[in-house]
A and B are shown apart, each in its own frame.
Chain A
Amino acid sequence: MSSDNSHLRTLEAESIYILREVAAEFARPALLYSIGKDSSVLLRLAQKAFHPARPPFPLLHVDTTFKFREMIEFRDRTAREAGLELIVHTHSAAAEGANPFRLGTQKCCQLLKTRALLDAIARHGIDAAIGGARREEEKSRAKERVYSFRDAYGQWDPKDQRPELWNLYNGRIDKGESIRAFPLSNWTELDVWEYIALEQIPVVPLYFARPRRMLLRGEMLIPLDYDVPPAPGDRIETVLCRMRSLGCTYCTGAIRSAADTLPKIIEELRGFRRSERENRVIDHDQEGSMELKKREGYF
């Protein structure tokens, strides 16, 4: 272990501790696996936490059906190689043609992500959903607990959270209630990438720059995976770009970048002046929109 990485080892130990606490204290935990870089780190930490045993919980993916094809391939391969059960849950509305173009991003997300997640938690009797959310990502997440209590409707009440001191997490819940556990609470985006480089963790290739055919709308680079209704001034071009954050195709803008290796991504990140979720359309629906989503049950 390089001494340069002492902060990463400190974070790693904290996360491993949290993952084990969840496994020990809940009857039916599941790891919310969203295929992105944070999920990849989370999975690696879970493997370390229980080694030489396998993590004692399944992976749960809420599939909106608007994910990148590379993501789905990566997901299936990862679960297979880790030897873990993979639960994929899709809201029935997706089959009926719900999409962000018709519903608007806010309603689409509410239905295909938040609602679907709550349904999956209920259907599989999950009492602890482990997620890769980080406090640094967004200002309402800065106040999130490591063990975040959700009522029987999956709702978060930021004004009435359980005090959380030391590393003594209160996981007491009644039937129907659940806990969202966030082992990566104290990690930053830079920590995540430095750790991926340190541990050589595989990530979806979409994070690495290469020339891609993209729809250009104003400053936005929108992937062409699904049919995006045209708008005036749209152009399609091949652009050297990469994804900084992975969500649904339409709602994940790419950034122009030449970073095609881990060191280059880390270098690029150190110079970044803009946040990773900036290219997430959904976070900017309205002022304070992440907080509103979280209150409803979004991660």
Chain B
Amino acid sequence: MKDLLRFTTAGSVDDGKSTLIGRLLHDTRGVYEDQLESVRKASRDSNAEGFDLALITDGLRAEREQAITIDVAYRYFQTPRRKFIIADTPGHEQYTRNMATGASTASLAVILLDARHGVLPQSRRHAYIAALLGIRKLAVAVNKMDLVDFRRDVFERIRDEFGAVAAKLDVEPPFFVPVSARDGDNVARRGARTPWYEGPSLLEYLETVEVEPAGSAGPLRFPVQLAIRPHLDFRGYAGQIASGSLRVGDRVLALPSGLETRVASLAGQEACPTVCLADQIDISRGDMLVDPAAPPAVGCEFAATLIWMAAEPMRPESAYLLKHTTRQVCADVRSVRRVMDMRTLDFGPAAELKLNDIAEVEIETHHPIFFDPYRKNRATGSFILIDMTSNRTVAAGMIQGPDTRVGPDTRVPRRSLFAPPRTLVSVPEFVPESLAQPHRGLTVWFTGLSASGKTTLCRAVHERLAARGCRLELLDGDTVRKHLSKGLGFSREDRNENIRRIGFVAGLLTRNGVIALAAAISPYRAVRDEVRASIGDFVEVYVNAPLEVCESRDPKGLYRQARAGHLPAFTGIDDPYEPPLHPEVECRTDRETLEECIAKVLAAIDRALER
């Protein structure tokens, strides 16, 4: 069985990485005689001493002139057992960007250490970046053993030191091999000068190491590339299986429509099939077929690790295009939580995001995407950001999970009152431990016209907070009037009394560590402010939609009755509504989706709880 192994290489400047690759290619006959001759010729031209194997690797004129590798280069060789693709990345200051690029498609990383220098700060970074990009297997070649007389104690000291570094990362225990790339010891063949080393040569290891075929594990993810429609009787969806399997008869869930159907037939390449479905569902590029039993997260907000790759720093006000699977959407980097200090490999406060920075960020897309955490699925957990003005790829991102501050979508909410939804389906459970912690009390007051969306929004927020394990109570105006305020009418006095009673209960709850969510028209500014003053921990949410919109929605027919004169002193018709002057949150429910509104409210709640 001949398969394919993609690996990347990393080493500090002068560790001899290009020489090692040159040696691998040379000894596996992956380089032709005439190419060697041209290397020999270039060796003489560039005044290098003798025959320089590194020149096989360092291709471009510019880099040969500067004697550095300037970018990612791909090399190929094969043995009877395997075909290999090497993503060769340089070790100089651009390494983060380049190494991340090389590592993104690799399932193994060869890390070079110079036996004379041992584990350098750069070596730690290389291991860290490999792990960050999801590489679980590291092969550590301790090079230039010839310069330390092939001493066993030198090798073992370096092995132990690097082993300790790797133990802190999400990688398997590394493979270590002592080599001399220049002379070939333990590269393709075992060398006689390390009789104390009993393991395989680097090549033997690469030929036999078990690597999981890309995309086999996990539930079905099938991002649709395009619809194939040669004639009216055939409609198929072409794509690449990102994970899982697809067989005729399988039930699949189509996202974002949320409709479930069956695979009627499959055509074409096994890993890149064209799928025909049993039911007519409108599906286009960027949609995804998934396992109904284990769907991905669906949403617009998520936390991610971002590698900034552009010379120009990130600008928070810029709009970026986010490319994720076959879907391309507009996106904002909503906040930069922290940036890694590459010297210490610790995260610190974020000032800005510039070339080669690695940061934890919150992303908000303008349309939902269907994602998994990167560590579970490289294909559905990765994305790139493209600057809409320059068209450049400015960042690569790895999704950690749904935004832990906002929480995931948990169901299909009632949203008839809101702008057309951009999120349709939903999602796995995700209750981060950190959020189930005790919190203080708070009153969140939803005010607005009848049919503005107060109750819907209030209930959705309630649900999100409940998913986090918060202590909650919901005080809905309509319900309250059936008991607490039973008998009160709609005169100014009675209305104020109703609000004071709700405010009183909310205040008690708040004092006892509960988040009280109150939804009432509460048309008069003065009494709202009175309640706010008496409670203190208070978030006012102005649920705002123009009267015409509310009137056109009219879910309970109240506006119609009011217009007909059956409901005197109806707010907005013949009684005033006094909008808040400084609400903590204002939601325009005629323009914003429910999701957006929920996010704003939750953000304000988080801010209030942090105070």
Contacts and interface: CB of A to CB of B under 8 A. Distances in A.
A48 B73 CA distance: 29
Contacts of B32: 272-275, 278
A275 B35 contact: yes
Contacts of B100: 163, 165
A168 B382 contact: yes
Contacts of B73: 142-143
Interface string B29-47: 1001111001001100100
Contacts of A200: none
Interface stretch (B225-233, B337-345, B521-529): B225-233
Contact of A164 (B45, B59, B393): B393
B411 interface: no
Interface string B72-84: 1111101000110
Interface stretch (A6-14, A65-73, A89-97, A207-215): A6-14
A202 interface: no
Given A24-B326, A272-B32, A278-B34, A143 B379 contact: no
Interface string A7-41: 10111110011001101100000000000000000
B61 A291 contact: yes
A173 interface: yes
Contacts of B321: 172
A6 B396 contact: no
Interface string A41-79: 000000011111110000000000000000000000000
B238 A3 contact: no
A12 B82 CA distance: 16
A90 B75 CA distance: 34
A9 B285 CA distance: 24
B581 interface: no
Given A165-B382, A168-B383, A10 B238 contact: no
A86 B396 CA distance: 39
A152 to B, nearest CB: 13
In this complex, the interface size class of chain A, counting residues with CB under 8 Å from chain B, is: 35 or more
B70 A159 contact: yes
B60 A143 contact: yes
A183 to B, nearest CB: 12
Contacts of A103: none
Contacts of B271: 9-10, 13
Nearest to B230: A53
A186 interface: yes
Given A52-B228, A188-B76, A139 B60 contact: yes
B83 A7 contact: yes
Interface of A: 1, 3-7, 9-13, 16-17, 20-21, 23-24, 48-54, 135-136, 139-140, 142-143, 158-159, 161-168, 170, 172-174, 185-186, 188, 190-191, 272-275, 278, 287-288, 291-292
Interface of B: 1-4, 29, 32-35, 38, 41-42, 45, 59-62, 64, 70-76, 78, 82-83, 85, 97, 100-101, 104-105, 225-226, 228-230, 234, 236, 238-240, 267-272, 274, 285, 309, 321, 323-324, 326, 378-379, 382-384, 386, 391-393, 396
23 contacts: A4-B1, A9-B271, A16-B272, A17-B272, A20-B272, A23-B226, A24-B225, A54-B230, A135-B74, A139-B59, A142-B59, A158-B60, A165-B104, A165-B382, A167-B105, A168-B324, A168-B383, A170-B391, A172-B391, A174-B391, A273-B32, A274-B34, A287-B42
